[in-house]
Structure 1
Amino acid sequence: MLGMGEAEAAPLLLAAREDGAKTGRAGGGGATWAQTLGNVVVSIVGTGVLGLPYAFRTAGWLAGSLGVAAAGCATLYCMLLLVSTVDCRDKLEEEETEEPCDVLYTYGDLGDKCFGTLGRCLTEILIFVSQAGGSVAYLIFIAQNLHSMFTQLMSPAGFIFAILLPVQTALSFVCSMSSLSPFSIVADACNVLAMAIVIKDDVQLFDHPFANRSAFNGLWAIPFTFGVAVFCFEGFSMTLALEASMAERRKFRWVLSQAVVCIIFVYACFGVCGYLAYGEATKDIITLNLPNTWSSSAVKVGLCFALAFTFPVMMHPIHEIVEMRIRSIGCFHKLSHNVHGAEWLGLHSSRIAVVIILAVVASFVPAFGSFISFVGSTVSALLAFVLPTAFHLRIVGSSMSLWQRLLDYGFLLFGLVFAGYGMFTAL
């Protein structure tokens, strides 16, 4: 749910980052396999899942299922590449220096170790844009669900500026992740409840479910569905932090694989059930298809409330990157030392400005489904496929077999082509 947060957005269910920092990568943190499994699910599953039935409507129920499976397996492979890259890099440095190497917790750290400052900047820019895309999706989701319940009150854009912007501006002053993390857990619980209620309502609507339901709607629809699926497997840059938090790090690959396989199955079932129930009437946010009952309204209100308080968690990596760049400006550094309160005012002003900009962007996005497909097809594809393979080839490319190098280059090329296609179709 945290999306692609960096080190400060480390595991929610057990914050073991400090233990990992003390023991180094060889030792790990204090999280058990069960806690790590929960952390992986919390980090991956987000609001994008509620757009999956619309993606299945676009591609067809069979093509959608295959797209989700392909996106999940590809994401899992590249997540494991990140862990393998860091492990190989650690062993190489320890052999050269005979001393423990620096602990790597973030995606940006790995980019810096592989390609220097340029690698860190590129990685942080992609994380920034990806987190911003996820935050905008939150605003759109909340605004459209509020509008569905209070249609006569105001438009979705009106809800963004009249309600969400003031609330998020106030919450932007909360800098402590520990104060916000309980809301992320509540939001994930609401997501699970929403998925359960949607599936229940879907099954009740089944009447010859495969009649007039396309299994495959053509090759043109596959990239759209794959982009939505990639967006749904968010939390990619949390991989290293999650692995470092685990007490028995050698089991992390098994835990991660089990979690992703289960999520693939749940995503496919959810997408198929939603599409089979509503057919061509499936909306880009499946909760908008729910009937006007008290249970449906309760789900919408719960999701809106939880996501409104999870929005600052999504924004945390963005604020960190912006504030780090502001602090590096010479004149700001001098001003903060010479004028009392200047640093506080400057940094909090930047937080407010970023929230306002994202609210404006959200008000102009025409469709939730198309937007998350665009984010997944471009930025998320670069983060999930291009960077991990580039890092892996950089660190251990010379020691890999020919087929391993070909596989990595295949994922690298696919990520670049897919991101280019996503940008082209959006424009």
Structure 2
Amino acid sequence: MAHQADKTTEVPLLQSSSSSGTASSYQTLGNIIVSIVGTGVLGLPFAFKVAGWAAGALGVIIVGLSTYYCMLLLIQCRDNLASEEESKEAKTYGDLGFKCMGTTGRYLTEFLIFISQCGGSVAYLVFIGQNLSSIFKSHNFTSSSFIFLVIPLQIVLSWINSLSSLSPFSIFANICNVLAMALVVKQDVQMIAGEDFSFGDREAITSHIGGLPFAGGMAVFCFEGFGMTLALESSMKERGRFSKLLAQAFTGVTLVYVLFGFFGYMAYGDQTMDIVTLNLPHNWSSIVVQMGLCLGLIFTFPIMVHPVHEIVEQKLKKSTWFQKLPRRASDNSMTNFAKFCIYISRAILVLGLATLASCVPGFGAFVSLVGSTVCALLSFVLPASFHLKLLGSSLSFWRRALDLFILSFGLVFAVYGAYSSIVGV
């Protein structure tokens, strides 16, 4: 998500990352995987525990296929608008919302992406707090205590305007994710190979009906990065190959998700925690990986929250009182006081996210709530709605029926999934 400081008329998060289309197929494939995979994967074993191993695996596959299909719908909608001379400027998710539902559609789309980005940022903080409290549990610090302990550093990092300065930490966090998954799988295999393991104790389908949508919400959250679909496709040198690359990426990621969730639940059964790293033994290798994960997320949190800062600052700069602030006579740039106001707004936003994170009862419940509501609306409901609006008259009966099914199911899933996440399972 490139920094777009000079463009104040669009939401930066929703802009196309490249208008020239210079990315190779390998670069695009890597970008797709990075945009999809996040910390939510470490909650998948818990989702399999809640839903059952068979239902969990089937749910992840269905969510993966549905997300892939809806991403293609979004591309079709954009291509349809681009074919119309008067709609050449429709290049973002927000533009599609505007073309389909006017100003309300644009605001709804951009608001949902804004909330999903905030939700991802809060999930980062909850993950950091729970893992640090697990590592230092002998010191009797709560998860909330650790969240607020790292906030001063997060505020300082949020004042860095150049994302390129933080990109090495993002790479470090991805490496730690891979190492954590490898360590968890190694531990899973050892647990499954142990004498105490009993396959019969692991439920294929849970008897608790609320467990299915709860796990579904976690699965939807794991396929994050939907807002980057148009930007990723536009960045390709050979855009015609995007659907094939997307299929390859989703096939690989879905397979990894299913195996990781399955083996995690097989290893720990009913003792599976909502963050599977909390199940690891308290030895030096586990602690190193957990600390690496936390450190990586501490330095990538500013990257996750950066688009949110830009959106807030765009609204701030358009406000009447901000525009009345004095500017430098030489180049009409902001004064130090104006920049101070922006820094204060960033600090307040980070504190607000930390306060929200401190109130979250658990990583799994929060991830499922965000996935069931905001992510489901973005990933399923809006793409199906846009597709019906723009191309409905030219679609076959079965294509229209499929879009209507996705739209209806997405709405029901959002309502019931939110309910099951709030009341617990």
TM-score, normalised with respect to structure 2:
0.91
The corresponding residue for 1:31 is 23
The corresponding residue for 2:218 is 228
Cα pair 2:226 2:379 within 8 Å, conserved: yes
How far did residue 180 of structure 1 move? 2.1
Cα pair 2:117 2:305 within 8 Å, conserved: yes
Specify which of 127, 144, 153 is matched with residue 157 of structure 1.
Answer: 144
Q: Secondary structure at the match of 2:137?
A: coil
Confirm or deny that 1:292 pairs with 2:282.
yes
How far did residue 9 of structure 1 move? 6.2
Confirm or deny that 1:102 pairs with 2:92.
no
Separation (CA, whole Å) in 2 of partners of 1:415 and 1:123: 15
Alignment CA distance shift 1:125-1:376 (3 Å): same
| Structure 2 unaligned blocks of 5 or more | 3-9, 329-333
Separation (CA, whole Å) in 2 of partners of 1:189 and 1:404: 41
Paired amino acid for 2:203: S
What does 1:28-107 align with in structure 2 at a 5 Å threshold? 29-91=21-83, 93-94=84-85, 101-102=88-89, 104=91, 106-107=92-93
What does 1:331-346 align with in structure 2 at a 5 Å threshold? 331-337=321-327, 340-346=335-341
Paired amino acid for 1:127: I
Cα pair 1:10 1:242 within 8 Å, conserved: no
Specify which of 237, 254, 264 is matched with residue 244 of structure 2.
Answer: 254
Separation (CA, whole Å) in 2 of partners of 1:254 and 1:176: 33
How far did residue 404 of structure 1 move? 1.0
The corresponding residue for 1:26 is none
Specify which of 312, 315, 328 is matched with residue 302 of structure 2.
Answer: 312
How far did residue 209 of structure 1 move? 4.7
How far did residue 103 of structure 1 move? 6.1
The corresponding residue for 2:416 is 421
Pick which of 276-285 and 151-160 moved more. Answer: 151-160
Separation (CA, whole Å) in 2 of partners of 1:401 and 1:337: 58
Q: Secondary structure at the match of 2:138?
A: coil
What does 1:326-405 align with in structure 2 at a 5 Å threshold? 326-337=316-327, 340-405=335-400
Paired amino acid for 1:155: T
RMSD: 2.1
How far did residue 199 of structure 1 move? 0.4
Alignment CA distance shift 1:336-1:80 (3 Å): farther
Separation (CA, whole Å) in 1 of partners of 2:340 and 2:75: 39
The corresponding residue for 2:234 is 244
Specify which of 118, 136, 141 is matched with residue 122 of structure 2.
Answer: 136
State the number of aligned residues.
405
Specify which of 202, 212, 215 is matched with residue 204 of structure 2.
Answer: 215
The corresponding residue for 2:173 is 187
Cα pair 1:59 1:217 within 8 Å, conserved: yes
Q: Percent identity?
A: 54
Cα pair 2:29 2:246 within 8 Å, conserved: yes
| Structure 1 unaligned blocks of 5 or more | 24-28
How far did residue 197 of structure 1 move? 0.9
Alignment CA distance shift 1:313-1:7 (3 Å): farther
Q: Per-residue CA shift, 1:64-116, capped at 9, x if unaligned?
A: 1011111111111111111111111111x13xx6xx92261x32232233323
Pick which of 333-342 and 297-306 moved more. Answer: 333-342
What does 1:157-176 align with in structure 2 at a 5 Å threshold? 157-162=144-149, 164-176=150-162
Cα pair 1:145 1:300 within 8 Å, conserved: yes
How far did residue 336 of structure 1 move? 5.0
TM-score, normalised with respect to structure 1:
0.90
The corresponding residue for 2:132 is 146
Specify which of 244, 260, 263 is matched with residue 270 of structure 1.
Answer: 260
Q: Per-residue CA shift, 1:198-244, capped at 9, x if unaligned?
A: 00110011144513111111333110111000000000001011111
